Structure formats: C-alpha cells, structure tokens
Amino acid sequence: MTASPPAATVKDNREKLLERAMSRYRYSGDALIEVLHTAQELYGFLPPPLLKTIARKLRLPPSRVLGVATFYHFFSLKPKAPHTFVVCLGTACYVAGALGLVETLNRRCAKPENSGVRNDVSVQSARCIGSCGLAPAVIFDGKVLARVTRQLIGAELEGIGVK
Amino acid sequence: MTVEELYGKQAEELERQQALKNRIMCCSAAGCLSCGADGLRQAISAEIAAQGRQAEIELCGTGCLGMCSRGPLVLSAADNRLYGNVTPADAASLVSANPSGKPTLPDRAIDLDAPFFSKQMRIVLANSGRVDPEKLADYIAAGGYQALGKALTAMSPREVIEEVKKSGLRGRGGAGYPTGLKWDLVMKQIPQVKYVVCNADEGDPGAFMDRSVLEGDPHRVLEGMAIAGFAVGAQQGYIYVRGEYGLAIQRLQTAIKQAERERLLGHRILESGFQFRIDLRVGAGAFVCGEETALIASIEGKRGQPRQRPPYPPESGLWGAPTLINNVETFANIAPIVQNGGDWFASVGTASSKGTKVFALAGKIANTGLIEVPMGTTLRTILFDIGGGIPAGKFKAAQTGGPSGGCIPEQFLDAPVDYESLAKIGSIMGSGGLIVMDDSSCMVDVARFFMEFCMDESCGKCIPCRAGTVQMHDILHRMTRGQATEDDMQMLETLSELLRETSLCGLGQTAPNPVMSTLKYFRHEYEAHIRDRRCPAGHCQIESQLEGAMA
C-alpha cells in the first residue's frame, strides 16, 4: 500500500489547479501527457485513484491512462523519498566512472525492502542530463553537481544526516 | 510589426548597445550554471551597482560559449575577451574601467585565437554566447527574423524550397535525409491541414547540441520553423522537447511569448497574410520518442511506440495529416540559408555533405564543450587541435552516434567527418555526440553499456528488439564477467544481424551497431575476455569475481 496523499489540513487547491490544466486543453485526450505532467507536479506522484479521475474527465479508458503513465520514465506511481540522487549514466559520465558512484550510493543508502526502515534517499539514474562537459554529473535534490567524486557524495550525504 | 519596423528595431538596438561602455556576457547555459554561474552573475551585478555604472555597463546572460571545461565563462564584449573559471571575487576587475588594453584578469584569460576557436566555423552557433536568449531585441539586433521577413515578402514557398534544396542541407538528426526533398514532399500533399514538428527529443547519451541551441538561441529555431511552415503550407508547429531539459523549456516558452507579442508568430506575421502558431510538447522520458512515428504518437498523447512506415510522416503524420519533422539543428540552419542563399551554404563542406556540424565533445579529452566545424574536417583536427588531445593515457576510440553509432579506432583518425565517410567505417554521423575514450575504457563493456541502454529503452512492440536486446545484453554481461564462451561470440554476431534486418524501427535496427563496430575493430578485446578471462583495459572485475567465487 502506498502512502495516502497528505491529509487535507491545509486548504488543498490542487484539485482545482488540475481541473484548470485540463480545461485549458479543453479536456482533450490528446493532452493526456501534459495533464499527467501537471498532476505529478502537484501531487509529487500519480496515485492510481487520481489516474482514474483523470481518465474519467478526459473521457479515456483507464487502461490507456495507466498505459501511458507506466510507459514513460518520468511518471511515478509511488511517492518519492524526501531526498533524491539522480546519477547521470550518459556515455560521458559512464566513461568518467558514474557506475562507481551508483554503487557507492546504493551501498550507503539502500534499505532492504520491507525492512520497516523508511527510505530517506532514493537513488535513481538518468539517461544523460546533457551536462556532458561536467562528467560525471549527479543531480541532488534538483541541483546539478559537477565532476562528482565519492568524497563529494559522502559530504552531501552527511549534510542530510545519512551516515 | 512590419519588415521595415523590424529593420528599424535592429538599428535602434544596435545604437543602444554601441552607446554602452561595455556589455558583460555571462554564460548561463546548463554547463556553466552547474559550476556557479548564477552566483557569479549576481556578484557582477552587485559590483556594477556598487560602482554606480548601471547606465553604461550591461550584464547579459547568454547561451553556451563553447568551452564548458573552463566554466563559468564570461565574455567582455567591449574588448572581446573571454575569461574562464571566473569566481565572484573577480567581479571588480571585470567591471572596472580598463584603459590599458590588456586582459583585466591575465590568469583567467582564454586565447580566442587558439585552435579551439580558430578551427571552428559557426553558422548554427553564430549567436550562441553573443545574444541574450531571453531578450528578443538582442536577437533582432543580430539580424534575427530578417530571413522570415525576406521569405514572406520577397519569395514564394516554392522559391524557399528551391533555396533549401540548392543548399544541400541534410537532416541533422542523424540519418541525413535531404531537407529540401522532405519539404518538397510535404508541400505537394493535397490536404489543407499540415503540421511542422521540431524534434528536440535529444536522447542520445553524451549529446547536448540541441539543448545548447535551444538554450542559447531559441528564436533561431522558431524562425526556422516559421519559414518551414510558410514553405510547406502549415499553420501549426509543435516543438517536442525532452522533459529533462527544464531550462530549454523555460526559454522556449519565453521566446514563443515574445515572438507572439511582436507579431513574429501567430496571426498576420509581419503584417502579411501568413499565420503560424508554435506550441510546446514536453516529453516524459522515453528515448524511442526520438523516432519520428513514436514522436507523433507521443504528441497525440499516446504511448510512444513507433509504427510501420510507409506511409511516412510527410504523407500521413500527426493526426493523419502531412507532417514535416526536422531536428533542432536543421531548423537552426534555415534562417542563414534563406538570408544568404543556398549557394553560400553549399560552398561550405564536402561534395555530399554541406554546411557545418555541431558536436558535443566529451569524455577523455582536454577541452570538453560545444563545437561547430565544417563538414569534412578530420577527426584528428577535431580531437587534437580543437579538443586539445587526451589529458592522460592514449587515444583508443571515438564514439559517435550514441547507441545507434559505432566506435572509431585510431587508424581512421584522418577520415573526414561527413555522412558517407562515417558510414563507411561502420559508425554514423548521428546527432553529434562525440565521446573520446582512452586506454582505460574496455570496449566490451562499452558495447554492454549501449546494449543495456537499448534494452531499457526498447518500447516492446516488436519481438526482435524486445527479446533480442535482452539476449545480447546477457551475453555481453557474461563476457565482462569472464563467463562467456566462443559460442556466445557467434551468437552475438547472429543476433546482431537478426536485429538489424527485422526490427520495426531505427532503435532496434541500429541497436547492434556498437557491438558490430567494436567486434570489427577491437575483436582482440572480446577474445581476451573469453579465452584468457582477462580484461586488457583492467576495467571489468573478472579477477575479483573469481576470488569471490572461491572464497
């Protein structure tokens, strides 16, 4: 079971914002990818009930919405960890040793599944973020780090309290 | 705006710029931003304010200045000097008056006469680093939108297409289909509704040319698309841009808004009867969407899966209408061609490949960054003169064309870079990623790396690609672990042939290329992994594996 969306203690206008995005595209099914982009921006991920709502509003079969949401790497059906490392695995970064960085990160952050320990850091990889001049590059919480070393990763991890 | 007003605006802006004491151009492309260009820009801005010279010194953010390895870069326009590795502490010397005529920061100065700059020729990147991508006036001052004005007022659609044909421009996305012929095909279609699509789904790992063009000179691409729309008779354009390129998306949105406000896009462009709208479509992370039919499916809001061709998109593309699809760099070449004529463009390059090509230099090379060279330049010039050579170790291979391309070994360093020559030696031009590998790279693992990429990115529609890439990756993976046999090598060759012959789209058909080219030129490395259970580059962890098994 994925975590339920945060309780609506603060006034939740996300639904309204999503509605506005859909009406901007006149509820056309062609705009499904744009609508999913907006939904993910608002909610952080795409919970299945939300996909059903989108399907109903755009008058698309739910299978098509789920099919598109799972086809593209960008969309996530599970909530994200509070901190994210995205290691670029483009060719330039690969040549510069990015696989070693993934290994380091996984060793230091990975929690076995179902161990009951909350995963604070998610380690992902990207297919080239286009910063090849700075290889190896890592995106840490939206910030691009250039010419990354194990030491630099260690420092960033310490900064967020991962031993 | 009318065409006369456009020229008036250019003169006005040029006059304003000349009245300034200096314009400090601060590179704000993704590369420099990630090594501190933002903080630097704030420091320079604060320094200008502190000296009270806001009226005479202008600070601009620009697109890529090229030499990403020395970022953050700053160009001082008054004396045309380039500085690298600039820190916020240098702001004072950059801003202060400099009557001596010597570089203000001698240890940071980059020689603009060095081969890195002198051997390049900039057509596509002419404005990159010279104009502020977020200011339309800057682009107009550099002669922007005049080509569109010329096409709309002095040329017929057929004449525009003739000019593009005469230029010999070929698709810069990699396959090299003659652009003029494609335009002609779309123009001749009968249906009234047609579309122009710009493919900015630059997915090749190790390629960042399109990103730099979009970030550094977005109006150039918009202008190229509008001219294309006029030539083929389309009124709607789409730019399909990768979701990962946040900055490019933001700058394109700004550029489209600015152009619409000044009537350079939208209704009644330049007070003529021509109308053309451009909308952005943001991709969601699927490499296969660079394939044209998959891209069309994705714009229609579907899973990005390719379909059988023919019919090709010029006959039946977006929503079944005739659709012109070109790459970013192709569109960026259009305005100079229309402005200066096809013959001018055709005078650059080789017999069959005209013009220039932008490359993203990366990997084990001294000067990483963005370069543009005339077609037919040799790899040696690109890598050793412009690129500055390999910092440590020995050159082993240059990889072009990403996961669809191949590895070029040392003996072909003197081959000219054009579509035909690269195809002859088993690689492709590709979109322009050029990654240099030295002797610490294992070619078997490189092949495995690209196969893993294709395996992950296969859309799963056709079986040869879906299952074949998995099998090939499995064999290559075992090779890098020292667990493969001679039979595996044969199977690898059989599968390569099979994928190339029977896959539905370009992704599957070209997926074996890295394997085939490394098998051809670096067979001894494969043999060492199989027979001697040894990695000549010392990259694969075969020994430790054996120890692990014994312990």
Among candidates B430, B377, B406, which has minimal Cα distance to B522? B406
Which is it for strands A83-88 and B277-282: parallel, antiparallel or unpaired? unpaired
Asked if residue B270 lies in contact with residue B147, where contact means CB atoms within 8 angstroms, the answer is no
**B19-111 and B356-438, same CATH topology:** no
* C-alpha to C-alpha distance for B469 and B452, rounded to whole angstroms: 8
Nearest Cα of chain A lies from the Cα of B439 at a distance, in angstroms, of 11
pTM of the entire predicted model: 0.92
Task: Tell me the domain boundaries of chain B.
Answer: 19-111, 144-346, 356-438, 443-550
List the end-to-end C-alpha distance of chain A, in Å, as a whole number. Answer: 28
Measured CA angle at B111 (ends B126, B84), to 5 deg: 80
Confidence (pLDDT) at B543: 60
Locate the chain A residue with the closest alpha carbon to B286.
A72
What is the ipTM score, two decimals?
A: 0.87
Taking each helix axis as running N to C, give the angle between helix A32-43 and helix A14-24, from 0 to 180 degrees, rounded to the nearest 10: 160
| Distance (Å, whole) CA A111 – CA B32 | 35
CATH architecture of B144-346: 3-Layer(aba) Sandwich (3.40)
Higher pLDDT, A108 or B448: B448
| pLDDT at residue number A142 | 80
Banded pLDDT at A51 (limits 50, 70, 90)? very high
Look at B84-98, B147-161, B249-263, B394-408 and tell me which has the smallest mean pLDDT: B84-98
d(CA A98, CA B472): 23
- Under CATH, which number does the domain B356-438 receive? 3.10.20.600
Which amino acid does the sequence have at B513?
A: N
CA-only gyration radius of chain B, Å: 25
Chain A positions in Cβ-Cβ contact with residue B205 (cut-off 8 Å): 89-92, 94, 127-128
**A 75-114 residues with CB below 8 A of B?**
75, 89-92, 94-96
8 Å CB contact of A95 and B364:
yes
Quote the pLDDT of residue A2. 45
Which DSSP letter does residue B378 get? B
Residue B441: which of A72, A95, A127 has the nearest Cβ?
Answer: A95
Domain B19-111, CATH number (from 3.40.50.150, 3.40.30.10, 3.40.605.10, 3.40.50.720): 3.40.30.10
What chain A residue is nearest to B283 in terms of C-alpha separation?
A: A33
Query: Where does A83-159 sit in CATH, by number?
Result: 3.40.30.10
Q: How confident is the model at residue B34 (pLDDT cuts 50, 70, 90)?
A: confident
pLDDT on residue B445? 93
CA dihedral B91, B96, B100, B101 (to 10 degrees): 60
* Three-state DSSP class for residue B58: strand
Of the partner residues B31, B283, B457, the one whose CB lies closest to the CB of residue A133: B31
The pLDDT value recorded for residue B551 is 46
What DSSP letter does each residue of B208-249 carry, written as one string? Answer: -HHHHHHHH-HHHHHHHHHHHHHHHT-SEEEEEE-TT-HHHH
For the CA atoms of B170, B172, B175, B179, the dihedral, rounded to the nearest 10 degrees, stands at -30
pLDDT score at B454: 95
Decide if pLDDT at A9 tops 80. Answer: no
- The CATH number given to B443-550 is 1.20.1440.230
Task: Give the position of tokens 């960890």.
Answer: A81
- Distance, CA of A12 to CA of A18 (rounded, Å): 11
The pLDDT-based confidence of A8 (bands split at 50, 70, 90) is very low
Helices and strands, number each (H, E), in chain B: 24, 14
The number of angstroms, rounded, from the C-alpha of B81 to the middle of its chain's C-alpha atoms is 26
pLDDT in tens, B42-93: 999 999 999 999 999 999 999 889 888 888 999 998 888 899 999 999 999 8
Q: Considering the domain A14-71 in this protein, what is its CATH number?
A: 1.10.10
Put the strands of the sheet holding B369-374 in their side by side order: B369-374, B356-363, B433-438, B395-400, B406-409
Question: Is A67–B211 a contact, with Cβ atoms under 8 angstroms apart?
Answer: no
% of chain A residues with pLDDT over 70: 87
Residues of chain B in contact with residue A87, where contact means CB-CB under 8 angstroms, are none
Distance CA B14, CA B6 (A): 12
Read off the pLDDT of residues B477-509 as tens digits, 9 standing for 90 and up: 999 999 999 999 999 999 999 999 999 999 999
Going by C-alpha positions, the residue among A85, A92, A103 that lies closest to residue A156 is A85
Q: Do A91 and B363 touch (CB under 8 A)?
A: yes
Pairing between strand B74-76 and B195-200? Answer: unpaired
Backbone dihedral region for residue A142 (phi beyond 0: left; psi -120 to 50: alpha; all else: beta): left
* Nearest residue of chain A to residue B371 (CA atoms): A133
Q: Which residues pair with B358 in a beta bridge?
A: B372
Q: Out of B360, B450, B453, name the one closest to residue A132 (CB).
A: B360
Contact B320, B293 (CB under 8 A): no
Give me the residue spans of the domains in chain A. Answer: 14-71, 83-159
pLDDT band at residue B205 using 50, 70 and 90 as cut-offs = confident
pLDDT given for residue A59 in this prediction: 96
| Residue B385: DSSP 8-state | I
> In angstroms, what CA-CA distances link B389 with A20, A93, B356, B438?
54, 18, 22, 11
Task: Return the residue of A nearest to B284 by Cα.
Answer: A74
Give chain B's mean pLDDT: 92
Length of chain A (residues):
163
Q: Which residue type occupies B89?
A: A
Q: Which of B469, B471, B509 is nearest to B488 (CA)?
A: B471
